[in-house]
């Protein structure tokens, strides 16, 4: 398990995001400390993905602030944030379909110039994701959804993130592959990577999280330790069907 500290790596303060005339995020406050696995759960349309896109500069925040490593990153480009270690694996995976698995991994290291380190990290990804080694020369677009999710995670790790944001990694996968993806998330966390996990699968996410946030209609309605939220009757009724 990752070594935790009190150092706050990512802090979201009063974040508001609107697009298409809709106020999707309505004043969100969150923080992520070094070495934590923090999950953000909520139903479809709650504003989870919008929040993550604002953090990684894919969407522009209307109000509030986002601090990373103690400095505001509002107005910064996604390129700069990746170079500084703030990296997201988007919902839908977004692999380069006409490139091989190895080429996709190399694309994850585009901000780096340490060739020996890049090659060593590719071998590391093949150790974490054995399926990728077996298919390293295969075009990414011909892989299954679960294999593409592994590739997307491996590609993100090639950038050596300090904070890794995973947006709905289990969406659309078979139950067996969901098990595998959550196993990989735990393995990556054990390597010392700080993780923000956005998930509709609340029970699986809370079971492995240090802390959780519950989001409804663009606002945070509950927060606490993962196990505490998992056993909360309100969470169980709303998200676990109990």
Confidence class for position 196, pLDDT limits 50, 70, 90: very high
pLDDT of 153 strictly over 90: yes
Mean predicted confidence (pLDDT) in 194-213 = 96
Q: Provide the 8-state DSSP code for 112.
A: -
Q: How far is CA 138 from the centre of its chain?
A: 25
Confidence class for position 200, pLDDT limits 50, 70, 90: confident
Query: What are the structural domain ranges in the chain?
Result: 36-58+77-239
Phi-psi region of 217 (alpha: psi -120 to 50; beta: other; left: phi over 0): left
Dihedral pair phi/psi, residue 119, rounded to 5°: -65, -40
pLDDT of 1 strictly over 60: no
Higher per-residue pLDDT: 140 or 22? 140
Q: What pLDDT, in 10s, does the model give residues 172-185?
A: 999 999 999 999 99
The predicted structure's pLDDT at residue 3: 61
Q: Are 203 and 197 in contact (CB under 8 A)?
A: no
Q: What pLDDT, in 10s, does the model give residues 59-113?
A: 889 999 999 999 999 889 888 999 999 999 988 778 999 999 999 999 999 999 9
pLDDT of 160 strictly over 80: yes
Q: Are 226 and 210 in contact (CB under 8 A)?
A: yes
Q: Are 37 and 189 in contact (CB under 8 A)?
A: yes
Cβ within 8 Å of residue 237, ≥6 positions away: none
Coil vs helix vs strand at 6 = coil
Q: Report whether CATH 3.40.50.300 matches the domain 36-58+77-239.
A: yes
Coil vs helix vs strand at 52 = helix
Q: What pLDDT, in 10s, does the model give residues 44-69?
A: 889 999 999 999 998 889 999 999 99
Q: How far apart are CA 35 and CA 3, in angstroms?
A: 5
CA atoms within 13 A on the CB side of 49: 13
pLDDT of 2 strictly over 80: no
The predicted structure's pLDDT at residue 10: 98
Q: Are 40 and 12 in contact (CB under 8 A)?
A: no
pLDDT of 217 strictly over 60: yes
């Amino acid at each position: 398990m990752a070594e935790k500290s009190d150092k706050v790596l990512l802090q979201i303060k009063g974040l508001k995001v609107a697009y298409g005339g809709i106020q999707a995020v309505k004043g969100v406050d969150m923080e992520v400390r070094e070495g934590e696995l923090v999950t953000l759960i909520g139903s479809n349309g709650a504003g989870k993905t919008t929040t993550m896109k604002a953090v990684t500069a894919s969407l522009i925040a209307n109000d509030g602030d986002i601090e990373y490593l103690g400095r505001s990153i509002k107005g910064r480009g996604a390129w700069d944030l990746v170079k500084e270690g703030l990296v997201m694996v988007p919902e839908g995976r977004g692999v380069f379909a006409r490139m091989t698995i190895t080429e996709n991994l190399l694309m994850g290291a585009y901000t780096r110039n340490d060739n020996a380190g890049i090659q060593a990290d590719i071998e590391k990804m093949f150790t974490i994701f054995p399926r990728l080694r077996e298919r390293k020369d295969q075009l990414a677009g011909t892989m299954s959804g679960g294999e593409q999710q592994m590739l997307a995670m491996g590609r993100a790790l090639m950038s050596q993130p300090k904070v890794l944001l995973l947006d709905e990694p289990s969406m659309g996968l078979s139950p067996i592959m969901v098990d595998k993806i959550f196993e990989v998330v735990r393995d990556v966390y054990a390597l010392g990577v700080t993780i923000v996990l956005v998930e509709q699968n609340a029970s699986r996410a809370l079971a492995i999280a240090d802390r959780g946030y519950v989001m409804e209609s663009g606002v945070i309605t509950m927060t606490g330790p993962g196990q505490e939220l998992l056993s909360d009757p309100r969470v169980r009724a709303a998200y676990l069907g109990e």
